[in-house]
Every structure is written in structure tokens, then in C-alpha cells.
Amino acid sequence: MKVCVGPLLKQALGDHIDLHVEESPVDPRGENAGLLDADITSFDADIKATHTDPGAYLEGGVRARVEQQCVRCLRPVRSPVDARLAEQYYATERVETGAPMPQPPRDAKTIGSDFLIDLTPLIREEVILATPQAPLCRADCKGLCPVCGEDLNERPHQHESPPDTRWSALETLKDMKD
């Protein structure tokens, strides 16, 4: 989702605009489709864009819904993720005259001659950072049976272990410890 900061950069330094962007669900063929790669299925963001000396400073928050899989049982897990956004964008030319601006720092985010800022990658990056890395469907998820692959939450069970003397020796040790 792109926003034009051209009009903002014509205002006085320190002036700001408030942006509200949301999409639910994210359209796989829309301009925010890139969010789906990060399993973000909907988002709602409030962003304040301030005219600063090198360009525009964006800060705000985003609430996203991320669809993941439980690391134990592979069931879908929908996590609400809150992320903060803060990024300085450097104008590369003056909005009034088109004259070039001083060279921005290396790796800085820049504003092209169309004065558009694409919010999609900003939201994507910050939501990924704020997303849990090993989601669980619930804290005590029992996962899948390592023998038959069945969901142990739905059908708790154990298999008869084949007789193996080394293994039973270990089990005995474990029983002794318990």
C-alpha cells in the first residue's frame, strides 16, 4: 500500500499527517499480497508521518493476524501480533524544485521522484520481527505421536514398545530416577 508524501513535504518541517491503513483479509492479488508470504492475513495500522529535514519519519503501530502452524501438532494457530513501526525515509529530491537532496546514508530507505512510500514492506518486516518463532496451539499441546503420527490431543495413546533390552534398561534407569 503506497502513500504519497509529496503534499506533506510541501508543508512546514514538523508538520505531520495521520494515516490509517487496514486490509482484512489481505487480497492475494492486491497491493499488499507480499504480506501473505509472511502469513499475515489481515492488518490494521495507524501511522503518523512527520516532515523531517531529510524527508519523512513514519512511526506508529500495527496489529496483524498471523496464521502459523503449531510446532508440535501442525494445527493452524492464529496469533494476533502487535508491532511498532518507526522508520526514517530520505527524500532524494526537493518536492518544489526537483533539485537533488544530499546523498542519504547507506542502506537508508529513500523516497523516489514519485514521492510514494510503500508501507507494505515496512509492515511486513516489523510484523515478522514481532511474530513468535515457535507457536503452540496451546501451552500443553501434546503434539503428534512419533510412531503413528496421530494427534495425541485428540486421541491420547501409547504404543507397545517392541522388546529391546538396551531400551528397557534405560527405562528402568528413568523409572528409578522418578
Which residues would be at the binding site for Zn ion (CB under 5 A)?
70, 72-73, 137, 141, 145, 147-148, 150
Closer to Zn ion by Cβ: residue 158 or 165: 158
Least separation in angstroms between residue 10's CB and Zn ion is 53
Closer to Zn ion by Cβ: residue 41 or 153: 153
Report how far residue 156's alpha carbon sits from residue 140's, in angstroms, rounded to the nearest whole number: 13
Distances from the Cα of 135 to the Cαs of 15, 36, 48, 82, 166, in angstroms?
Answer: 41, 18, 31, 15, 35
In the block, cell 508470504 appears at: 37
Least separation in angstroms between residue 139's CB and Zn ion is 10
Closer to Zn ion by Cβ: residue 21 or 145: 145
Least separation in angstroms between residue 67's CB and Zn ion is 14
DSSP symbols for 55-73: EEEEEEEEEEEEEEE-TTT
Other CB atoms within 10 Å distance of the CB of residue 52: 16
Least separation in angstroms between residue 168's CB and Zn ion is 20
Using left for φ > 0, alpha for ψ between -120 and 50, and beta otherwise, residue 156 falls in beta
Closer to Zn ion by Cβ: residue 60 or 135: 135
